[in-house]
């Protein structure tokens, strides 16, 4: 094992096949274990909803289409209607609707692609008016910036920044 250092415990965890609850001692131990999991120290942890974002290509509108699958603070699947709580109220149930995902089972929140092309053209026109000619391989990053305006509560990990400038220059 050149260059590797063995760390951690290599013992296999014991698998509990049956549990007999017949004494107060076992119940007390179980209660202590649960209370330890929910200790006051956990109050410092900010629990938030999380989302899986999938992007498909919409053949009809010839643009990307965004789909959201949400999970609550306990990592349990959100009902699609609850996802709309994290969407800009200007867009909930109008631009963002609940539909069948083309590749995944069940209903998902989707940002309808009917205006994506026009909005993306406007963003690119603004960039070009400021002397920036966007490269084709940067389209997805620009698209995610646009989606962030529809779903402002979801933070993306941007690896680059685009300055769209001010319209009052």
The residue that leads in pLDDT, 72 or 151, is 72
Q: H helices within 21-138, ranges in order?
A: 24-37, 80-83, 116-129
Q: Which of 77, 82, 114, 118 is catalytic?
A: 114
For the question of residue 136 being annotated catalytic, the response is no
For residue 59, name the pLDDT band (cuts at 50, 70, 90): very high
For residue 164, name the pLDDT band (cuts at 50, 70, 90): low
Domain boundaries, the chain: 50-150
DSSP secondary structure letters along 26-53: HHHHHHHHHHHHT-GGGGGS----EEEE
> Taking residues 23-45, what's their average pLDDT?
45
Per-residue pLDDT tens over the stretch 72-126: 888 899 988 888 888 877 777 778 889 999 999 989 988 889 888 888 899 889 8
């Amino acid at each position: 094992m050149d260059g590797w250092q063995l760390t951690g415990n290599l013992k296999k965890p014991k698998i509990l096949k049956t549990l007999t609850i017949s004494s107060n001692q076992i119940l007390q131990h179980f209660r202590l274990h649960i209370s330890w999991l929910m200790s006051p120290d956990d109050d410092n942890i900010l629990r938030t909803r999380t989302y899986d974002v999938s992007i498909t290509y919409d053949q009809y509108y010839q643009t990307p289409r965004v789909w959201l699958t949400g999970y609550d603070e306990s990592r349990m699947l959100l009902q699609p209607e609850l996802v709309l709580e994290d969407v800009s109220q200007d867009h909930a149930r109008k631009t963002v609707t609940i539909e069948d995902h083309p590749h995944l089972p069940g209903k998902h929140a989707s940002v309808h692609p009917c205006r994506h092309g026009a909005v993306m053209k406007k963003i690119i026109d603004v960039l070009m008016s400021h002397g920036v000619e966007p490269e084709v391989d940067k389209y997805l990053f620009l698209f995610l910036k646009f989606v962030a305006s529809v779903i402002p509560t979801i933070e993306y990990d941007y690896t680059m920044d685009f300055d769209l400038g001010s319209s009052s220059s």
